[in-house]
């Protein structure tokens, strides 16, 4: 990996704002955070990618909190990411200045809100390189996006005797909707197991595909194992048997460049709150010809073309799948998050997080009696910047609780909405540390020291 990157690739700007600081700053303030300062000094020398975490932290107010004099170390980014000032300002501006419903009014506020809402859709489309912004459907979250596909496409296309292929490493949100489809249609769920390296067995997946396969539902990056699936290959194999592919990209879109046209999947879902955007809005990308063939998921205002007493006709996608008043402010806030990520550069984020994730993995190996799940990072194996682990004879929930109470370190414990995977691994729970680009190696060191102290505390106490 290159030690430096061009300054232009690392500069970030906030359209419509003047900068940020250590506290909330009015738009007229001259105080600036790293991103705004970078724009103001375009001639400065390029900075190493390895400093990305330190330079972006100023943009995230929550990261500067202290608990009982201990600085917060936030390592639960796999559950949700933190939000930069620019996203908060965008939400504030919407509700202060042009709060109105979209696609309905002819007045100025509605026109401005509609433009901003649809501009956010265009930003999402560009971010994932969709062929057309009409292929982007806003939902409440990624879970609803998968349910939309399951109910609208699945119940119309999956029949008794058909097969749905998943892996044991899927999030519950990618499993339960297809269990509903299976129960309602009589289709069979087929699960891909793990290799001895504890990653989904791609050869087994390939072998499960047949003319009975209707859809393959897979993650891009596993939220527990940190492993990455070869989506392009899976799509090629699936297309040969006429099967559709749905990709859960919640753990990849926030961390690396994702090109939906290159991947070739029929459906892809992601979630705003994991990519520095607000909660309450998710993303469904679907090929337009497939979306156009699908029945609506929900009925109501905006998704119709015409309504008669006994029937209705439906709008074209994406409106067909966005019944009622959408999460307008949240979608606009997602657009601001995409502006922020794009200004940094997803390739820069990806390179930094590969380095940081490897550092986390190797540092965890220094902890006595630790078991890390998923593949070891290498030149040929990409691992996401997260580690799920257990320590012998210590419950992961105890670890997470003491890390929080005594050291100000926030991680997750439990099954991470992946009970099937945990049962496959022969465990009921694990601890998970998950990073983002605003985390640093210094924080990893703090986490490891705190983890060792926590283990000592728990093992000597009990």
- Indicate whether 37 and 54 sit together in one domain: yes
Per the model's pLDDT, the better-predicted residue between 392 and 379 turns out to be 392
- Indicate whether 25 and 142 sit together in one domain: no
* Domain of residue 59, residue span: 21-75+346-462
pLDDT higher than threshold 80 for residue 7 = no
- Indicate whether 272 and 181 sit together in one domain: yes
Asked if residue 129 is part of any domain, the answer here is: yes
- Indicate whether 102 and 199 sit together in one domain: yes
Q: Which of 340, 362, 395 is the last residue of a domain?
A: 340
Q: What is the CATH number of the domain that holds 188?
A: 3.40.640.10
Asked if residue 199 is part of any domain, the answer here is: yes
Q: Which of 291, 323, 340 is the last residue of a domain?
A: 340
Confidence (pTM): 0.90
- Indicate whether 260 and 371 sit together in one domain: no
Asked if residue 152 is part of any domain, the answer here is: yes
Concerning whether 250 is annotated as a catalytic residue, the answer is no
Q: Is 180 helix (H, G, I), strand (E, B) or coil?
A: helix
Enumerate the β-bridge partners of residue 192.
Answer: 167
- Indicate whether 233 and 374 sit together in one domain: no
> What is the rounded distance in angstroms from the CA atom of residue 251 to the CA atom of residue 222?
7
Asked if residue 33 is part of any domain, the answer here is: yes
Q: Where do we find the tokens 């509700």?
A: 95
Q: Which of 320, 340, 360 is the last residue of a domain?
A: 340
Asked if residue 274 is part of any domain, the answer here is: yes
Q: Which residues contact 393 (CB under 8 A, 6 or more apart)?
A: 369, 459
Split at pLDDT 50, 70, 90, the class of 9 is very low
- Indicate whether 249 and 321 sit together in one domain: yes
- Indicate whether 336 and 273 sit together in one domain: yes
- Indicate whether 200 and 274 sit together in one domain: yes
Asked if residue 189 is part of any domain, the answer here is: yes
**Would you call the peptide bond into 371 cis, given omega within 30 degrees of 0 as the criterion?**
no
> What is the rounded distance in angstroms from the CA atom of residue 433 to the CA atom of residue 413?
9
Asked if residue 51 is part of any domain, the answer here is: yes
Pairing relationship of beta strands 188-192 and 244-248 according to DSSP bridges: unpaired
> What is the rounded distance in angstroms from the CA atom of residue 255 to the CA atom of residue 354?
10
- Indicate whether 296 and 175 sit together in one domain: yes
pLDDT at residue 413, as a whole number? 98
Split at pLDDT 50, 70, 90, the class of 68 is confident
Split at pLDDT 50, 70, 90, the class of 69 is confident
Helices (DSSP H) in 161-270: which residue ranges? 172-185, 202-208, 231-240, 260-263
Q: What is the CATH number of the domain that holds 367?
A: 3.90.1150.10
- Indicate whether 179 and 52 sit together in one domain: no
> Quick one: angle between helices 396-407 and 441-461, nearest 10?
110
- Indicate whether 103 and 239 sit together in one domain: yes
Q: Tell me: the pLDDT tens digits for 394-431? A: 999 999 999 999 999 999 999 999 999 999 999 999 99
pLDDT higher than threshold 50 for residue 30 = no
pLDDT higher than threshold 90 for residue 11 = no
Asked if residue 82 is part of any domain, the answer here is: no
The number of folded domains in the chain is: 2
> Quick one: angle between helices 85-93 and 328-344, nearest 10?
150
Enumerate the β-bridge partners of residue 389.
Answer: 372, 431
């Amino acid at each position: 990996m290159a030690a430096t990157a061009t300054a232009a690739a690392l500069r970030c700007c906030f359209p419509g704002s003047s900068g940020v600081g250590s506290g909330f700053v009015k738009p007229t303030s001259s105080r600036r955070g790293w991103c705004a300062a970078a724009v103001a000094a375009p001639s400065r020398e390029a900075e190493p990618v390895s400093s990305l975490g330190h330079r972006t932290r100023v943009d995230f107010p929550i990261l500067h909190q202290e608990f009982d004099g201990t600085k917060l170390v936030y390592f639960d980014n796999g559950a949700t990411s933190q939000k930069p000032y620019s996203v908060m300002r965008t939400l504030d501006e919407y509700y202060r200045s042009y709060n109105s419903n979209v696609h309905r009014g002819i007045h100025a506020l509605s026109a401005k809100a509609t433009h901003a809402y649809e501009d956010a859709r265009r930003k999402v489309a560009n971010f994932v390189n969709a062929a057309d912004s009409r292929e982007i459907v806003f939902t409440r979250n990624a879970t609803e996006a998968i349910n939309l596909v399951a109910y609208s496409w699945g119940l119309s296309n999956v029949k008794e005797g058909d097969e749905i292929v998943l892996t044991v490493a899927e999030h519950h949100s990618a499993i339960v909707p297809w269990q509903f489809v299976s129960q309602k249609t009589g289709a069979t769920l087929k699960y891909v197991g793990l290799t001895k390296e504890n990653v989904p067995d791609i050869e087994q997946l390939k072998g499960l595909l047949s003319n009975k396969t209707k859809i393959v539902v897979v993650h891009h990056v596993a939220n527990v194992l940190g492993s990455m699936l070869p989506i392009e290959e899976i799509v090629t194999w699936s297309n040969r048997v006429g099967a559709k592919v749905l990709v859960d990209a919640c753990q990849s879109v926030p961390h690396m460049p994702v090109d939906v046209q290159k991947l070739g999947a029929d459906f892809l879902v992601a979630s705003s709150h994991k990519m520095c955007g607000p909660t309450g809005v998710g993303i469904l990308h679907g090929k337009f010809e497939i979306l156009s063939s699908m029945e609506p998921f929900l009925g109501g205002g905006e998704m119709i073309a015409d309504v008669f007493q006994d029937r209705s006709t439906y709008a074209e996608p994406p409106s067909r799948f966005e019944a009622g008043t959408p999460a307008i402010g949240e979608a606009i806030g997602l657009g601001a998050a995409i502006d922020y990520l794009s200004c940094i550069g997803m390739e820069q984020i990806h390179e930094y997080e590969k380095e940081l994730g490897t550092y986390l993995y190797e540092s965890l190996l220094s902890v006595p009696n630790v078991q890390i799940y998923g593949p070891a990072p290498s030149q040929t194996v990409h691992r996401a910047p997260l580690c799920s682990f257990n320590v012998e004879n210590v419950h992961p929930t105890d670890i997470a609780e003491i890390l929080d109470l005594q050291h100000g370190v926030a991680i997750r414990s439990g099954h991470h909405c992946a009970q099937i995977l945990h049962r496959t691994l022969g465990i009921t729970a694990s601890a998970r540390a998950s990073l983002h680009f605003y985390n640093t190696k210094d924080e990893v060191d703090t986490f490891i020291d705190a983890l060792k102290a926590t283990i000592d505390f728990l093992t000597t106490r009990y």
